[in-house]
């Protein structure tokens, strides 16, 4: 099938590349000439494991191409995906849909025959109806079906998530649209993939409900972690103890510094607004949004407490800046609030991240950057692990202890065992776990 993907950002590029890898012929379109020129030259605008290899292969095999010319790109397409950005609108947290509507109008103007237009961008319930109204207004002479098909890709694991999804949700209002969607996903559905066909509005809401539920789950375990700290219980054991109950499930129960990223913060906020607008407030999600915001700042206070209550004039090393590992994405990263809280308290902050430093630099003025983890901790009064990159999971703790000016390790991702760290003479603080002090002299 011939597919056009409007918007070559994270979702558009990954989805476009994966569809081409399944044998469809895909053109990824974007207004940004620089981005398209770079993609044509084989340069990826984002860091995503496996993406470049997949793009290169499918470009070579002539199934994937890039263009800034929307009309030509959709001329012989049977399906056009809209995967443009839906940022939070300034002031009220509503999703800004202007890019979606502009793309829909342009696609309708350029349509040369019957078309299925599929919204992949995360859009509030009812957006598909508005897209349909727009395309009907622009083109009465061509049949254009409007479908919702949300994505559930995780950054850093997006290709795996695309190729082996738990389910594909399709919100379609006509048989023709359902048939086109079935044909698009047929290569994936051969391994008995659950296709969930629902109404367009239901599909739009599924996406928000899924993200909000996951955000609730994370925030729940984060609050349980605080309670564990207050009572001497261990949050990892609590998570395992509840997660083995199949009704709860073990995933998304890792306590940490609060969720970030391009989706959870924006989507929970937009869902809260939708609930308020429809007189059906989502009070649990409202609370989750504010608990998570407060948590990021509280993590700064946790580091200060680990440093004896003051960081004025002290140097704090931060390992990991991106909102999670295997991405260079800094959007809503907990590190942003943490570094600011430390700087406000008078600390000198030095950071290192394996992939995110170019993105982090403009967002974290006043912070210095190190070339690697060991350079970052050299002479520092404490080190805090904020993102659980693999390369921080087996640091040489003996060396870290020697390089630090004072031996304090704050592990906001619980990647070490308390006894493993304290035996090197490091003072250790983590999330929701008791530290049993080991007699240092006996073990070092
Ligand atoms: C998320 C959804 O998982 C995906 O389905 C949706 O399409 C987009 O949003 P992503 O933002 O890439 O994906 O990252 P995810 O792995 O879900 O993590 C989001 C945030 O939650 C990160 O800040 C992560 O550190 C945090 N998190 C996740 C936890 O703190 N604990 C957990 O147990 C899981």
Q: What is the pLDDT of residues 119-144, one digit of tens each?
A: 999 999 999 999 999 999 999 999 99
327 Cα nearest atom in ligand 1 = 12
Look at residue 258 in the predicted model and tell me its pLDDT.
Answer: 98
Where, residue-wise, is CATH 3.40.50.720 in the chain?
A: 2-198, 296-429
10 Å Cβ neighbour count for 217? 18
CATH class name, domain 296-429: alpha beta
- Phi and psi, residue 410, nearest 5°: -110, 120
Ligand 1 centre distance from Cα of residue 76 (Å): 37
Q: Which atom of ligand 1 is nearest to the CA of 222?
A: 30
- In this structure, the residues whose C-beta lies within 6 A of any atom of ligand 1 are 151-155, 211, 214, 218, 252-254, 256, 259-261, 263-264, 323-324
Ligand 1: residue whose CA is nearest its atom 24: 259
List where CATH 1.10.1040.10 sits in the chain: 208-290
Q: Which residues contact 64 (CB under 8 A, 6 or more apart)?
A: 16, 17, 20, 26, 27, 28, 55, 58
Residue 442: per-residue pLDDT: 40
Residue to probe by mutation, ligand 1, list 214, 330, 338, most atoms within 8 Å of CB = 214
Instruction: Give catalytic residues, as residue numbers.
Output: 263
Cβ-based neighbours of 344, under 8 Å, separated by 6 or more:
none
| Pocket perturbation via mutation, ligand 1, pick of 261, 262, 333, 353 by most ligand atoms within 8 A of CB | 261
Name the closest-CA residue to atom 16, ligand 1: 154
CATH number belonging to the domain at 2-198, selected among 3.40.50.2300, 3.30.70.3420, 3.40.50.720, 3.30.530.20: 3.40.50.720
CA of 206 to the centre of ligand 1 (A): 16
pLDDT of residue 50: 96
Out of 215, 256, 289, 353, give the residue to mutate to test ligand 1, the one with the largest number of ligand atoms within 8 Å of its CB.
256
Q: Which is the closest atom of ligand 1 to the Cα of 261? A: 11
Shortest-distance atom of ligand 1 to CA 258: 30
pLDDT for residue 188 = 85
Please list, in sequence order, all residues whose beta carbon lies within 8 angstroms of the beta carbon of residue 131, skipping any fewer than 6 positions away: 82, 100, 101, 104, 117, 119, 146
- Nearest Cα neighbor of 202 from 160, 139, 166, 148 is 148
CATH architecture, domain defined by 208-290: Orthogonal Bundle (1.10)
Q: Compute mean pLDDT per 10 residues along the chain, 444 residues long, and list them.
A: 96 97 97 97 94 98 97 95 87 84 96 96 94 95 97 93 95 97 90 90 98 98 98 97 98 98 94 96 98 97 97 98 95 97 98 97 96 98 98 97 98 96 96 71 43
CA of 153 to the centre of ligand 1 (A): 10
How many whole angstroms separate alpha carbon 296 and alpha carbon 385? 14
pLDDT at 93: 73
């Amino acid at each position: 099938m011939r597919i056009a993907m409007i918007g070559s950002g994270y979702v558009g590029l990954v989805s476009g590349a994966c569809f081409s890898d399944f044998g469809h012929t895909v053109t990824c379109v974007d207004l940004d000439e620089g981005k398209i020129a770079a993609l044509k030259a084989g340069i990826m605008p984002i860091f995503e494991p496996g993406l470049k290899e997949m793009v290169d292969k499918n470009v070579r095999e002539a199934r994937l191409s890039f263009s800034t010319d929307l009309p030509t790109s959709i001329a012989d397409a049977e399906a056009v995906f809209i995967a443009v950005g839906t940022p939070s609108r300034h002031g009220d947290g509503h999703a800004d849909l202007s890019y979606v509507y502009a793309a829909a109008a342009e696609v309708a103007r350029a349509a040369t025959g019957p078309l299925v237009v599929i919204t992949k961008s995360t859009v509030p319930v009812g957006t598909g109806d508005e897209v349909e109204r727009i395309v009907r207004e622009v083109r009465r002479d061509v049949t254009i079906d409007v479908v919702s098909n949300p994505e559930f890709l995780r950054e850093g694991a997006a290709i795996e998530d695309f190729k082996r999804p738990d389910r594909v949700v399709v919100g379609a209002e006509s048989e023709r649209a359902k048939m086109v969607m079935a044909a698009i996903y047929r290569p994936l559905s051969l391994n008995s993939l659950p296709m969930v066909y629902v109404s367009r509005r239901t599909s739009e809401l599924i996406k928000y409900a899924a993200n909000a539920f996951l955000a609730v789950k994370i925030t729940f375990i984060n609050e349980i972690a605080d309670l564990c700290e207050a009572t001497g219980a261990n949050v990892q054991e609590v998570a395992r103890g509840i997660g083995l109950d199949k009704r709860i499930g073990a995933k998304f129960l890792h306590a940490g510094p609060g969720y970030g990223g391009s989706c959870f913060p924006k989507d929970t906020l937009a869902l809260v607004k939708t609930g308020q607008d429809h007189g059906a407030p989502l009070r649990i999600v409202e609370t989750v949004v504010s608990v998570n915001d407060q948590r990021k700042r509280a993590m700064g206070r946790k580091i200060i407490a680990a440093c004896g209550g003051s960081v004025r004039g002290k140097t704090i090393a931060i390992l990991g800046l991106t909102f999670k590992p295997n991405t260079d994405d800094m959007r809503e990263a907990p590190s942003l609030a943490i570094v600011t809280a430390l700087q406000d308290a008078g600390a000198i902050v030095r950071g290192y991240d394996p992939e995110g430093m170019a993105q982090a630099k403009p967002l974290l003025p006043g912070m210095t950057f190190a070339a690697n983890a060991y350079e970052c901790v050299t002479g520092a009064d404490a080190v805090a692990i904020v993102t659980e990159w693999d390369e921080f999971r087996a640091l040489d703790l003996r060396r870290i202890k020697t390089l630090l000016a004072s031996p304090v390790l704050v592990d906001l991702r619980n990647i070490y065992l308390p006894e493993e760290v304290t035996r090197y003479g490091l003072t250790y603080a983590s999330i929701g776990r008791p530290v049993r002090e080991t007699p240092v002299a006996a073990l070092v």
